[in-house]
Structure 1
Amino acid sequence: MTEARARTRARQLDTADPLGRFRDEFIQSPDVVAYLDGNSLGRPTKKSADRLTGFVTGQWGARLIRGWDESWYELPLTVGDRIGEVALGVAPGQVFIGDSTTVILYKLIRSALDARPGRSEIVVDTDNFPTDRFILQGIAAECGMTLRWVTPEPDAGVTPEQVAAVLGPDTALVVLSHVAYRSGFLADAPAITALAHDAGALVLWDLCHSVGSVPVELDAWGVDLAAGCTYKYLNGGPGSPAFGYVRAEHQDSFRQPIQGWMGTSEPFVMGPEYEPHAGIRRFLSGTPSVVGMLAMQDMLDLIAEAGIAAIRAKSQELTAFATDLVDELLVPRGVAFSSPRDPERRGSHVTIDHPSFAEANARLWARGIIPDFRRPNGLRLGLSPLTTSFAEVELGVEAIAAELR
């Protein structure tokens, strides 16, 4: 389509968008005309600005230390339950808010390995997010484990067939991302989970790029463990704490390795020995970030109001529109489309590659066009369904085309 037709089509899609009204719930940056990086950092909600201000004066300032008895102590579990209800498809008592994604991954991986004694292999893919790979490399060296690597196609991700080929009697754990951070490939989590269980292994899914944008049903899929961040599609703010999921049947038999006071049966007794709390609380370690758990609560309310099915439908429309624009305006200029073509196998971002993108990205940012650069040559167009308009997508892709011209 021509650029004029693309603009007309974007206006039509925005007019018909049933979720378009939610854009008014978010703070808009005055110098940004196309924010295409919602899969790295979500926009703040207006209600979160009020909540954060009110917390300083009304809770921290007014209630002081009494806040722990009144609500803060339970917040990692109450917000965890809310994430589980709205975005993970899980019953209460299985999700906690704790540390960074990195630390939670470490906790859950070590817990899983301890629960599979005598098994010596971990399955992971070569294109998983660096943190996942680095943690697994460190744990493998620490515990004498062997990593069994799966190598996905660059524009796709890990398939059930690839996982089945490396599973065996020595497999203790499979660690994969539900949505690949680079290509946006949406893995077949139910099928892969079932294959791992048939082999006697446990499964840990990294949900950083899917939670809040793609329907997730951890309980129904039989998933053992999951972790994810809250600052992408959950809009918790820079560095907001991550969440962990531990299936109910595993909680009292898994030993978490970072034994802190907040995970004990009676934290304020300050006893001489570590005694883990029953249930999901045992996976907490130190004092949780109360401030870090504030903003995500407002986004979770919006996700609940919109409905994850409608959010997924909008996500697919956005990425389909972006794909059409890339094919029409960028592929003829030498750009490679590096994400799955099938929208059912795609999360809420697409990646495009061109040798000039490293330099072009800085110029785009200066113009208020904000995609996400991934080395060596990739631009990710991260389309957050409740905040991204079709007009932003059109403006962004048109600006990339202008850079190539």
Structure 2
Amino acid sequence: MTRDEARARDAADPLRGLRDRFALPDGVIYLDGNSLGALPKTTPARLTDVVTEQWGRDLIAGWNAHGWIGAAVRAGGAIAPLIGAQADEVLVADSTSVNLFKLLAAACMARPERGTILSEPENFPTDLYMAQGVAGMLAGRRVKTVAFDDLVAAIDDDVAVVLLTHVHYKSGHKRDIAAITAAAHARGALVLWDLSHSAGAVAVDLNGCDVDLAVGCGYKYLNGGPGAPAFLYVARGLQETLRSPLSGWMGHAAPFDFHDDYAPAPGIARFQCGTPPILGIAALEEGVAQFDGVDLAALFAKGQALCDLYVALVEERCTGFVLASPRDGAHRGSHVSFAHPHAYAICQALIARRVVGDFRAPDVLRMGFAPLYTGFEDVWCAVDTLAAVMRERAWNDPAYRFRAAVT
């Protein structure tokens, strides 16, 4: 595809106007929305209103007057359609790591006769760290990891919960939620899915796949801003039987009655813990609102078309790269990884030329394609810049030899 052909494809794209909802810097090709989503244009005004009018003018009255007290449930309900859930099955709260801890512990306590949390090696580190923390806290529990291809066979009668990421953070490999969930249920185990690289990027149908539990972050494809609060999902049929290990006052049935003893709230609200972060939730609500009225099937198909174009152009124009993601879009999320021995330096050279992707150790150059605001010409220009970086050996700059704190 030539640049003119890419530009023509953008012009014919019925979703092209969605890009205008975002405040993208001029001259920057942003292919890191899988790590931090772009800023919606409506977010600054929303936050200004919450800070200066709601908080500044109404002070504590905002909890009732502006619905702050119900913000966590309301924001969860807005996310629900993006992950194939009901509004009363999703809650915005805490971080992804804390939500993982809550749901892993709850799942283990719901299967007291079983001792294993099953996952795969090289799952996202926080998922494994949280699993290790839960296993260390609950007597008789352990974390077992097996290669993904052997995972279904490893689900035995000692597995309490299977913990997997739907779209792998590094490779972009998309797991089969329906098949793995069914296999776990056949052996009496629960399943907890991490949707951090899925929500807002690929189709997810938690209800249709009979999923038990899920978590996800708010700052990637949901565009909630750095450190945005995360979300959790608990299937309606499990909500009254699972017990959160963090029995904070906002998860109490009557928090403002100030009883000494804990009584869980009905439904999804019992998985709240502390006071909801109102400013963070307000920004997240604006990010999620960018999906309003959007044909999600068309949006996700566009994401895969962008990925396909990137793979084809890199393989056509750049040597020395090895595709580390599935070639078939049916098995891939909305980011693509290529391995290269100098991936970190190449990534820094691209950023210096205003093409922003990211690096994942030890050797992966990763590019994310957020279909709400990424265009086909963006992909063409990114690869054209990459080809120039490789041709000119721009990556061989001494400034790129030492990694920054965030890669």
- 1:7 paired with 2:3, answer yes
- 1:175 paired with 2:163, answer yes
- 1:250 paired with 2:238, answer yes
Contact 1:177 1:206 in 2 (8 A): yes
Q: Distance in 2 between matches of 1:170 and 1:304?
A: 43
Contact 2:40 2:290 in 1 (8 A): no
Q: Which amino acid aligns with 1:237?
A: G
Q: Distance in 2 between matches of 1:260 and 1:301?
A: 29
Moved more, 195-204 or 358-367: 358-367
Q: Distance in 1 between matches of 2:120 and 2:55?
A: 44
Question: Alignment partner of 2:219: what SS?
Answer: coil
Question: Alignment partner of 1:351: what SS?
Answer: strand
Q: Distance in 2 between matches of 1:304 and 1:193?
A: 29
Return the match for 2:146 from 145, 150, 163.
150
TM-score for the superposition, normalised by structure 1: 0.94
Return the match for 2:327 from 306, 324, 341.
341
- 1:204 paired with 2:200, answer no
Describe how 1:230-379 pairs up with structure 2 within 5 A.
230-330=218-318, 333-379=319-365
Query: What are the Cα deviations for residues 223-253 of structure 1, in whole angstroms up to 9, with x where unaligned?
Result: 0000000100100000000000011111111
* Aligned match of 1:399: 385
Contact 2:229 2:284 in 1 (8 A): no
- 1:29 paired with 2:25, answer yes
Query: What are the Cα deviations for residues 87-113 of structure 1, in whole angstroms up to 9, with x where unaligned?
Result: 011122111111000000000000000
Aligned residues between the structures: 389
Q: Distance in 2 between matches of 1:176 and 1:316?
A: 22
Question: Alignment partner of 1:139: what SS?
Answer: helix
- 1:67 paired with 2:53, answer no
* Aligned match of 1:91: 86
* Aligned match of 2:45: 50
**RMSD of Structure 2 on Structure 1 (CA):** 1.2
Question: Alignment partner of 1:303: what SS?
Answer: coil
Query: What are the Cα deviations for residues 288-346 of structure 1, in whole angstroms up to 9, with x where unaligned?
Result: 1110011222332321311221111111110011111111012xx11111100111111
CA shift at 1:118, angstroms? 0.8
Contact 1:335 1:354 in 2 (8 A): yes
Return the match for 2:110 from 111, 115, 138.
115
* Aligned match of 1:17: 13
Q: Which amino acid aligns with 1:306?
A: V
CA shift at 1:395, angstroms? 1.4
* Aligned match of 1:138: 133
* Aligned match of 1:155: none
Question: Alignment partner of 2:203: what SS?
Answer: coil
Contact 1:326 1:337 in 2 (8 A): no
Query: What are the Cα deviations for residues 133-185 of structure 1, in whole angstroms up to 9, with x where unaligned?
Result: 1111222232232322122xxxxxx45xx322101111110000010000111
Aligned structure 1 segments of 4 or more residues deviating by more than 4 angstroms: none
CA shift at 1:280, angstroms? 0.8
Contact 1:121 1:171 in 2 (8 A): yes
Contact 1:148 1:166 in 2 (8 A): no
CA shift at 1:9, angstroms? 2.7
Q: Distance in 2 between matches of 1:238 and 1:56?
A: 18
Return the match for 1:385 from 338, 350, 371.
371
Q: Which amino acid aligns with 1:79?
A: A
TM-score for the superposition, normalised by structure 2: 0.93
Contact 1:184 1:339 in 2 (8 A): yes
Question: Alignment partner of 1:93: what SS?
Answer: helix
Query: What are the Cα deviations for residues 354-389 of structure 1, in whole angstroms up to 9, with x where unaligned?
Result: 112211222221221101111111111100001111
* Aligned match of 2:402: none
CA shift at 1:204, angstroms? 0.3
Where in structure 1 are there 5+ consecutive unaligned residues?
A: 152-157
Contact 2:224 2:288 in 1 (8 A): no
CA shift at 1:6, angstroms? 2.9
Contact 1:213 1:308 in 2 (8 A): no
Higher normalized contact order (CA 8 Å, seq sep 6+, divided by chain length)? 1
Q: Which amino acid aligns with 1:247?
A: A
Q: Distance in 1 between matches of 2:151 and 2:363?
A: 28
Question: Alignment partner of 2:42: what SS?
Answer: helix
Q: Identity of paired residues, percent?
A: 44
Where in structure 2 are there 5+ consecutive unaligned residues?
A: 392-407
Q: Distance in 2 between matches of 1:132 and 1:69?
A: 36
